[in-house]
Amino acid sequence: RLSTERYYTHEEILNYIDDLAVRYPSRVFVKTVGWSYERRALKTITITNGDQRKGKKLIFVDGGFHAREWISPAAVLYIIDQLVEQFEQNADLLKDYDWIILPVVNPDGYEHTQTGTLARMWRKTRQPYGACYGADPNRNFDFHWNEEGASSSACADTYAGPTAFSEPETIVVRDLMHSLSDRGVMYLTLHSYGNYLLYPWGWTSDLPDTWEDLDEVARTGAEAIENATGTVYTYGSSTNVLYIAAGASDDYGFYAGFNVSITMELSGAGSIGFNPPVTRIDEFVTETWIGIRAMAEKIIEKY
């Protein structure tokens, strides 16, 4: 059973999903979809209700874009636990939808923050660029790439990369998005911290034509969390409620055809922002799930 009492290593995360695929062979499928720069496996877990229907609608979730945001993979694992181990309580979320989940987009960075010297606050990938390392995977997507809120300097934390899709990890996410977008309804990417539910656009302050639909989904998540826990999530377009930053995965997923695309910035503030003590993992991931569950229900009702 999943532990929310500690942070998992990337290898433990892969072992956890591999084990679920063995234990639930009719409902759970794990696939290696690519490799990080340092050749760690990028694996997706597809969760179904076992009815074998092809072409069901789909929710795509990922985490671990930014290495130091440890609560993100932890929350992704909790989503997986709920949909697989607590299937009976969540069967409504899998009746007409499959979920495909990539728990750690940037495993090289994640591993670096767990094992490297003075590396806890690392954000980027680990491909070398001259004397520095890594691009910001959330500035590396080819949609208004490097226009705003990104850096062209290889040593910067928001380095967009030498070109769009310079990182093998973002190519994997891009290719997944394109392969799924004909049935993909919601793309959800988990980051930390600050308690936000963000929707496109992040490259401009203009809103997409369907912004009221996006706003309704985000508001549903925020209200569910506040009603259950009192935690206040701010929702709105990325540019308007947080800051402008182009080349991120949320904008790309929306442009690639997902009806709804949401970046969730989980709980955490101040000195525990990127570093929630292990005693608070459970609280943060269960709170996150309340919001995600409510958004998924709204998605299933609307699309």
The smaller minimum CB distance to Zn ion, of residues 97 and 203, is found at 203
The residue among 55 and 270 lying less far from ligand 0X9, judged by its C-beta, is: 270
Catalytic, 265? Answer yes
Site residues for ligand 0X9, 137-176, by CB under 6 A, read: 138
Whether omega for the bond prior to residue 193 falls within 30 degrees of 0, making it cis, is yes
Q: Which of 1, 230, 208, 13 is nearest to 101 (CA)?
A: 13
When asked if residue 198 is in the footprint of ligand 0X9 (CB under 6 A), the reply is yes
Closer residue to Zn ion (CB): 7 or 97: 7
Say which of 169, 265, 287, 301 is annotated catalytic: 265
In terms of CB distance, is 36 or 48 closer to Zn ion? 36
Identify the CA nearest to 64 among candidates 77, 46, 51: 77
Closest CA to 295 of 216, 191, 209: 216
Copy the structure tokens of residue 11: 């290898």
Distance, CA of 137 to CA of 129 (rounded, Å): 14
Helix, strand, or coil (residue 148): coil
- Beta strand pairing call for 234-237 and 184-192: unpaired
DSSP string over 22-85:
HH-TTTEEEEEEEE-TT--EEEEEEE--S---TT-EEEEEEE-SSTT-THHHHHHHHHHHHHHT
Residue 221 within binding range of ligand 0X9, rule CB under 6 A = no
Size of the site for Zn ion (CB under 5 A): 3
Report the nearest approach of ligand 0X9 to the CB of residue 221 (Å).
15
Residue 97 or 274 having the CB closest to ligand 0X9: 274
Give the contact letters, 245-274, x = binds to ligand 0X9 (CB under 6 A), - = no.
Answer: x--x-xx-----------x-x---------
Question: 63 is in the binding site of which of ligand 0X9, Zn ion, none (Cβ under 5 to 8 A by kind)?
Answer: none
Distance CA 204, CA 188 (A): 20
296 interacts with ligand 0X9 by CB under 6 A: no
Does position 125 interact with ligand 0X9 (CB under 6 A)? The reply is no
Q: Indicate the Cα dihedral angle 132, 134, 136, 139, nearest 10°.
A: 90
Binding to ligand 0X9 by residue 202, rule CB under 6 A?
Answer: yes
Phi first, then psi: what are they for 95, rounded to 5°? -70, -50
Q: By three-state DSSP, how is residue 300 classified? A: helix
Q: Is the dihedral of CA 220, 184, 264, 205 positive or negative?
A: negative
Q: How far is CA 88 from CA 50, 93, 123, in A?
A: 13, 10, 37
Q: Which partner, ligand 0X9, Zn ion, none, binds residue 108 by CB below 5 to 8 Å per kind?
A: none
Among 191, 255, 256, 291, binds ligand 0X9 (CB under 6 A): 191
Contact of residue 248 among ligand 0X9, Zn ion, none (CB under 5-8 Å per partner type): ligand 0X9
Q: At what angle do helices 281-302 and 71-84 cross, to 10 degrees?
A: 60
- Residue selected from 10, 27, 66, 139 as contacting Zn ion according to rule CB under 5 A: 66
Residue count (the chain): 303
Residue at shortest CB range from ligand 0X9: 202
Q: Within 57-96, which residues bind ligand 0X9 (CB under 6 A)? A: 66, 69
Identity of the amino acid at 261: S
The nearer residue to ligand 0X9, 167 or 250, going by C-beta atoms, is: 250
Q: Could you list the residues that contact Zn ion (CB under 5 A)?
A: 66, 69, 191
* Catalytic annotation, residues: 265
- The binding site for ligand 0X9 (CB under 6 A) comprises 66, 69, 138, 191, 198, 202, 238, 242, 245, 248, 250-251, 263, 265
